[in-house]
Homo-oligomer: A and B are copies of this chain.
Amino acid sequence: MPKRSLPLAEVYRLLEPGPVVLLATARRGRANVMTMSWHTMMEFEPPLVGCVVSDRNHSYASLRATRECTINIPTADLARAVVGCGNVSGRSVDKFAKFGLTAVASARVAVPRVDECYANLECRIADSRMVAKYGLFVLEVLAAWIDRGARRPRTLHHGGRGVFVVDGEVRRLPSRAK
């Protein structure tokens, strides 16, 4: 998917609405991807993202060891892969191959981006002090990419137990918020 660089000050606009994302890690030449919804923006610029990754997830050890990852934001047409990546473990399955995802090289980190996702964020751990207690990683976004196409991306939001809500109507209201 042809992408353009996105200014870092715009990153919050992608994550603040709370989409399900695919978190990719790579270690010893092997990339893995997990489905994640527990994330929040923590700072506008440089963008900081807090995300919770359980030590029960295969990605946890890779993220701790390499201190790098990519956050990839899928649209609703990738729902099958999103659910699939959440249902199997990278311990036993090459999820890129199984779910037809394409790993493309990142600019700033050694972890690939997921090409099929409409946006990709290249991240490095900025603070790991809350990892032991909460599994909370504070990530700094080093580079961001977005689909060159002008289509409005419809992302997924996870309401638990396999219930996903797709983005609906857009309302423009005169907010003074950034």
Contacts and interface: CB of A to CB of B under 8 A. Distances in A.
Given A16-B158, A162-B175, 18 more contacts: A16-B159, A17-B37, A17-B165, A18-B19, A18-B157, A40-B50, A40-B51, A80-B173, A83-B173, A83-B174, A83-B175, A161-B178, A163-B171, A164-B171, A165-B168, A165-B169, A166-B168, A166-B171
Contact of A171 (B19, B35, B76): B76
A79 interface: yes
12 contacts: A16-B159, A17-B158, A17-B159, A18-B157, A37-B41, A48-B134, A86-B177, A156-B171, A157-B167, A162-B177, A163-B171, A164-B172
Task: Count chain B CB atoms within 10 A of each CB in A86, A160, A162, A169 and give the residue with the most.
Answer: A160
Interface in A122-140: 130, 134-136, 138
A175 B38 contact: no
Given A42-B134, A168-B154, A171-B166, A160 B178 contact: yes
Contacts of A135: 42
A153 B50 CA distance: 27
B163 A16 contact: no
A157 B157 contact: yes
A12 B80 CA distance: 22
B48 A17 contact: no
A176 interface: yes
